[in-house]
Every structure is written in structure tokens, then in C-alpha cells.
Amino acid sequence: MRVVLYARVSSEKQAEKDLSIAAQLKALRKYAVEHGWEVYKEFVDEAESARSANRPAFKEMVALAKQKHKFFDTILVWKLSRFARNREDSIIYKSLLRKCGVSVISINEQVDETPAGKLLEGMIEVIDEFYSINLAQDTIRGMKENAGRGYHNGGTIPIGYKAKKIMDGPNEKTRLEPDEAFAPIIRRIFQMCVSGMGAKEIVMTLNGEDLRTSKGKRWNKNNVYYILKNEVYTGTLVWNHQSKSQGRPRAKDPREVIRIENNHPALIDRETFEKAQTLLRARSPEIIHPRAVHSDYLLSGLLYCGKCGSRMLGCAAKSSRFFYYACQNYCKRGKGVCDARLINKDRLEAFGIERV
């Protein structure tokens, strides 16, 4: 019989314990050898939750099982919780695999195909799902307590700050402190904004001086907007202000948001931050349904830069007195990336009409 091995860990901490990928694979290989089974392939998902089926290796394994040619007969897992901790996903995928002639075997939970075996398997999966949901709630509760005491809850440290490790009893915690290598750049970005410069001008200024982000990359408008809208630079810790629903950020109920002012050293004052928000809102385009949007640029979406191959965008200059087509890279990243010249809108459109 040909089998595939599936191993998964949901966190680095779990990987450090006896549930590590290496430990799971070692046990699975030994089990296959003891039963005289041939291992066709090994699939591994690291730092992936079993509460979702959206796991790269898992999806690849299921897709392989669905092929017309049968590559393997059984999936070996260390425990059923490695396969899924969502009862609905477990039922759906096991049913799909069964139709393809593929079974799932847990080497540490011996269940058979009898009615009693199916009942036991279902009970194990329900307990696993309960454990997973309960663990998630405990984790959120711990993160809420951590944020409430002014500690950083993990994730990317905002540019302009660095992590400061401190001991809280036996536990190591993280607070934010200014990173003097980038803090001056953050202050300058806000000053440029309140002085009337737009995000594109700020980007072109920073890239023109060959300044880089904390990741060593060139600046773009997304970087600048993220900084200008981030309240962390006023010394305020904000946690749990949004969640993702279907991949899109959604604002949380204000009562669930933890907000602590003067939590860490501020890089800019509150007055500067609020002035920047006012200017950003004033410059923000009106939100219109896509079907109602029309472009004043006849060749929009049809032109590409001859130097770098990027799309050409319509843009205005001198308080909207002059209109041009410009390279997207030039507009967003500056002439250091592409130095293609602006092309007069009326002349280019007239030329296009003559040629049609």
C-alpha cells in the first residue's frame, strides 16, 4: 500500500515541543515501515491552523488525491487534530477522500470502520474542535490583558520604533522605544504632509535622497499613507481596532478596542497628527460606485511605459491646470525607479485619435 505523510504545527512554540514537524515525520515513517507500506510523498504545513482548510500543503495533498491516476491509498497523520480541528472540514474532506478511495489513519488514535469506530472518531474530532476554540479564546484573553498593560502584542514593529525587552516577573514582555535611525524620517514625513505635500511628493523626495525603509526598500505611497494614518506615532497604543472578514479589514466595536495614550515615547505631537488627518481627508477622493466612475483620460488602461513597462496613469499638475500621462513607477516610486517624462494629455490623445 502506498501512503503519504501529513505533518502540521500551528506555532513556533508547538514546534519546540514534542509536536515538532521532525518528531511527527519520524513517528509516521516508523509506522509506515513497521506495516510494510511505501511512502509516496510527505506534506508539511508549518505555522498553519487546522481550523481552516486553507493550508498550502493540505490543499496540494487533497488535489493529488483527486487526480484520475491514483498515487496513494492512505494519508497518515500523527493525530486526527493534525488533519483538522474543524468538524465540518473534517467531514467534508474525509468524505471527498473516501470517494477517491483514500483513507485517513491516525497512528496514535486507533479507530476502525465499524459504527463504534466512527462514533469514537467523531468524539475525538469534537473534542479537538472544542480544545481549539477554547484555546483561541484563552489566547485572545491573554493578548487583551497584555495590551491593557501597555505591552506590544507581536507582529511587525512600526518603522520608527524598535522592540525593548523588559521582564514582567518571570515573563519577557515587549514595549516600543524610538529607533533613532528612522524616527527622524517619520517626523519629517509628518512635517512634509502638514506643509502641504502630497504622498507622491513625499515619496519622490525620500527616494530622491536615496533613503530606504527599515526593510531596505524604496518608499511608495502605501508606506507613507500607513505612517500618516497610524496613531502609534503619537505615543498611543491601539489594539483590536479591526478584524478581517473575508480578507477585508472591518472596524471593531469601539467598546472592544483597547486604547492607551502616552503608552510609549511619541514621535510627533497630537496636534500635528490631527492636522495630517484633516489634510488626508480633504485630499481623499469621493467614494463612488465603480459603475458610476468615468475617466477624463481617454487612453486610460491602454498605455504602458516604454522604459519600464509599467502602466501609464493620468495625472494633473500645477493645481490641476495641466494634465499628463505618466509612468506608474515614476508617480509612486519616483524617478530613481523610472525617469520617463510626462506626456501632455491633449497631444497624446489627439495623436491616438488620428491613428485610429
Looking up cell 522604459, which residue turns up? Answer: 307
Q: Is 202 exposed, middle or buried (0-12, 13-18, 19+ CB in 10 A)?
A: buried
Give whole-number Cα distances, 284 to 67, 146, 297, 314, in Å: 50, 35, 19, 17
Catalytic annotation, pick one of 10, 90, 106, 310 = 10
DSSP E strands in 150-269: the ranges are 161-168, 171-178, 237-239, 242-245, 248-251, 258-260
CA 85 to CA 126: how far, in whole Å?
8
Q: Which SS3 state, helix, strand or coil, does residue 142 take?
A: helix
Whether 10 is a known active-site residue: answer: yes
Q: Please, are residues 292 and 276 in contact by the beta-carbon 8 Å criterion? A: no
Pairing of strands 171-178, 161-168: antiparallel
In angstroms and rounded to an integer, the radius of gyration of the C-alpha atoms of the chain is: 28
Provide the H-helix boundaries in 84-114.
87-99
CA 118 to CA 111: how far, in whole Å?
7
Sheet holding 322-327, edge to edge: 312-317, 322-327, 343-344
- Residues marked active site are found at 10
